[in-house]
Structure 1
């Protein structure tokens, strides 16, 4: 009984210490040179909930793909693959093969999670029998870029949707939440990574001037950090829901 009580006390103390550590990470001051989108744009992010309703009255017309591809979808931070379901279903309607990343919620770029998604990429590539396309939303795009650097022979193209790969990793309105949940600083991931370094495959960055989470220039990137950049008018949450964004992704899949 005494041993059990001691163990319970140690467990509670460890939990309190971990909670305090994560709170400290979330409370760090933002550097002066790393501002995120203005508050009005962040508040506008809630409008994404209307996109599914809009589709009922104005369904997206999907043209058959000219060159069907196998696509691996990587969700954004804090998101589940279900949030990319509309994008996946639209891809399938066009004739592409859309596969999710094989895990649940994206809770940060931990070493364990990256190893698992690497294995998933290898499995999908083996099944496809040819290099595949990686489509990553927000943090998912940052992970997709790193996957393409490690496995360029398995990837033919990378599309990032509002992904903060350029400039300061704190130039967004989500870095504090990331640090609290992932348990490490946004610029000190558990995997060796250089987000701004371009993968050795075709890399296209989608960005939006209406993005309320990631600073547009961070998602747009600079010359040499991506091959091309494409602007769409949608919220950050709308990259996987808004008709303009979904159509732009479909067009890029057909752009060989």
Structure 2
């Protein structure tokens, strides 16, 4: 990500050392893992038998709006699998409609904010925000800008902490900065999104992520009034299509943010098996 720190080398302003980047083995493995994760999610949604298909309750989302923000250098095409999964289960899932996410440019910031305003205006109810990777940072910023219009925030492999800023894509961010520019608001946006959120927030990440250090994605109690961390076995790119990741997102969206039931693999999978029998 962008390094706006003005003092210290290899550590943040509080003296915490930078988290190590994922191993090159995990990074190289991303290309091999993603096709299987994509196929697995298609199997879940398309080729499941009638008993399991009953789990895709079209009324589960009750028409509530969800805005999905893609990661760096990604567009709505990369989040289509996730949005399709949610739409089948009754949510109104929207792409962000800004094109490719080039980072903290004025086009990205203004476009994301305008899209949230549009979705909220259409539904006249708080919007759930899902941000993948760098998109999760934008989701946190939107929730700071419009807390009354946001139902909850779910981040997918989003290294929002200062000590998690160095990733396998840092050089890409620097190239993008030179090619597309950087908003004058960029540093203040980063400071703002790192403040505690006023809405319920869930961090979903993978300890086998090949792009970002997963510890930089985690939440702590001081990061908001209601926070939770959920680890899934997934690649970084696969977090928007991995069957287990999609199941966790669905489970969290179905909760009442004011009184969510704590996440439990046993509860979620146990309920799935009971419904399928």
Q: What band does the TM-score fall into relative to the shorter chain?
A: 0.7 to 0.9
Q: How many residues align?
A: 225
Question: Separation in 2 of the partners of 1:166 and 1:190?
Answer: 14
Question: Separation in 2 of the partners of 1:54 and 1:203?
Answer: 27
Label 1:113 to 1:191 Cα distance change in 2 as closer, same or farther (>3 A). Answer: farther
Label 1:167 to 1:221 Cα distance change in 2 as closer, same or farther (>3 A). Answer: farther
Q: Which runs of 5+ in 2 are unaligned?
A: 1-8, 12-16, 257-277
Q: CA deviation at 1:223?
A: 2.8
- Show the counterpart of 2:97: 102
- Show the counterpart of 2:216: 218
TM-score (norm 1): 0.81
| Aligned counterparts, 1:110-129, within 5 A | 110-129=105-124
- Show the counterpart of 1:176: 171
> Contact (CA 8 Å) 2:128, 2:151: kept in 1 or not?
yes
> Contact (CA 8 Å) 2:136, 2:155: kept in 1 or not?
yes
- Aligned-partner SS, 1:210: coil
> Contact (CA 8 Å) 1:162, 1:216: kept in 2 or not?
yes
Equivalent position to 1:189, from 186, 189, 192: 186
* Between 84-93 and 65-74, the greater mean CA deviation after superposition: 65-74
- Larger Rg belongs to: 1
| Aligned counterparts, 1:42-81, within 5 A | 42-46=27-31, 47-55=33-41, 59=47, 61=53, 62-64=55-57, 65-68=59-62, 69-81=64-76
Q: CA deviation at 1:56?
A: 5.3
Q: Which runs of 5+ in 1 are unaligned?
A: 1-29
- Show the counterpart of 1:246: 246
Label 1:107 to 1:249 Cα distance change in 2 as closer, same or farther (>3 A). Answer: same
Q: 4+ runs of 1 displaced by more than 6 Å?
A: none
Question: Separation in 2 of the partners of 1:201 and 1:56?
Answer: 32
